[in-house]
Amino acid sequence: MNNNKIFEEEKNNSCDNFIIGTFEIKENNEEIRIINSYEQSCREHKWEIKDEDKKEKEIKENIEIIINDKNIQFTYLYKFKEKGKYNIKYIFKNNLANTCYMFYECSSLNNLDLSNFNTQNVTDMRSMFNGCSSLNNLNLSNFNTKNVTNMYCMFLGCSSLNNLNLSNFNTKNVTDMSYMFRGCSSLNNLDLSNFNTQNVTNMIFMFNGCSSLNKLDLSNFNTQNVTDMKSMFNGCSSLNNLNLSNFNTKNVTNMIFMFNGCSSLNNLNLSNFNTQNVINMSYMFNGCSSLNNLNLSNFNTQNVTNMRNMFSGCSSLRRKNVITNDNKILNKLK
């Protein structure tokens, strides 16, 4: 019986609130992480533990772990005697309120189905899949995120994921999306069409390093409360289509490295950008080597104190192809 069929049978035979996963173990007697928590991560990395974030008891008392039909004693690290693929089942007695760092650094996980995991009470999902570098299949089709406020680093470092459908996500209460997809270097399909970003204040490094994405439609994004867009698209080297027509940047103060390394972009219309409060635009378009048309018609740089290397590496861009009346910008162009 193939692994996918076993995976489906495990899913169908489980209780109501569960997660099904697959580990690929490459060495005999390999000890790997099978689950995590915020407090566990703090202990290992010697971070300060905040009292309000202590969820260790909730995780330990709630979860039952089964590997290849064998119940194991609760543990964060588990030693697999032999290399190969293993099916794992996480069963939850009660609904969790916090899933932050849940699969943090579970680098041997390659398959996760959370379609039967009840997240209706969850408010914090930061770093939930951070460091899942082998994960290539992630089913979040029934994720309930209506109460979530924090998605910081949620998929950071998921470098093997090539498809991520988040069209069902309810993000109306999320305030932090910084680093959310950073390092998702294999991602070539990302559906954010239903994202509600009206309360988000931080989008720094949000798509940083998404080097396989060739298009990204963010025309539905409401960025009225965002104050920082540092390195937001930094390293998106395959992007050739980027729709930012509805971006509201009136409260943004930092745009350093925002489009740095977007070497496939040849046209960028930022005519709607309000930059009156921006103080840093250094390296903003650095390395945009294919860019030959740039609309900055509403740019106001009166408060900008740093424009260092703003257009460095824009080898195809000429002054005549940049729409702007701002003299500080014109002085930076050839």
- Give SS3 for 205: coil
In the prediction, which pLDDT does 145 show?
A: 97
Distance CA 63, CA 74 (A): 8
In the prediction, which pLDDT does 1 show?
A: 43
CB atoms within 10 A of CB 188: 16
Q: Name residues whose C-beta falls within 8 Å of residue 71's C-beta, 6 or more positions apart in sequence.
A: 64, 65
Q: Are 254 and 248 in contact (CB under 8 A)?
A: no
Provide, rounded to the nearest whole percent, the portion of the chain with pLDDT above 90: 81
How is the chain split into domains, by residue range?
A: 149-334
Place of tokens 């390195």: 231
Q: Kindly tell me if the per-residue pLDDT of 58 is higher than 70.
A: yes
What does the mean pLDDT of the chain come to?
A: 92
Q: Kindly tell me if the per-residue pLDDT of 6 is higher than 50.
A: no
Q: Are 234 and 209 in contact (CB under 8 A)?
A: yes
Provide, rounded to the nearest whole percent, the portion of the chain with pLDDT above 70: 94
Q: Kindly tell me if the per-residue pLDDT of 10 is higher than 70.
A: no
Radius of gyration of the chain measured on its C-alpha atoms: 22
By C-alpha distance, which of 204, 203, 247, 202 is closest to 224?
A: 247
Residues in the chain, total: 334
Place of tokens 């703003």: 310
Per residue in 205-234, pLDDT tens? Answer: 999 999 999 989 898 899 999 999 999 999
In the prediction, which pLDDT does 17 show?
A: 95
In the prediction, which pLDDT does 53 show?
A: 56
Residue 9 one-letter amino acid: E
Residue 46 one-letter amino acid: K
Distance CA 37, CA 39 (A): 6
Q: Which residue has the higher pLDDT, 62 or 56?
A: 62
In the prediction, which pLDDT does 2 show?
A: 52
Q: Kindly tell me if the per-residue pLDDT of 11 is higher than 60.
A: no
Pick the CATH number of 149-334 from 1.10.1060, 3.80.10, 3.90.1200, 3.40.50: 3.80.10
Of the candidate ranges 54-68, 158-172, 235-249, the one whose mean pLDDT is the lowest: 54-68
Q: Kindly tell me if the per-residue pLDDT of 98 is higher than 70.
A: yes
**What value does the mean pLDDT take over residues 225-246?**
95
In the prediction, which pLDDT does 87 show?
A: 97
Place of tokens 């019986």: 1
The pTM of the full predicted model, rounded to 2 decimals, is 0.92
**What value does the mean pLDDT take over residues 117-135?**
96
In the prediction, which pLDDT does 44 show?
A: 87
Place of tokens 């951070």: 130
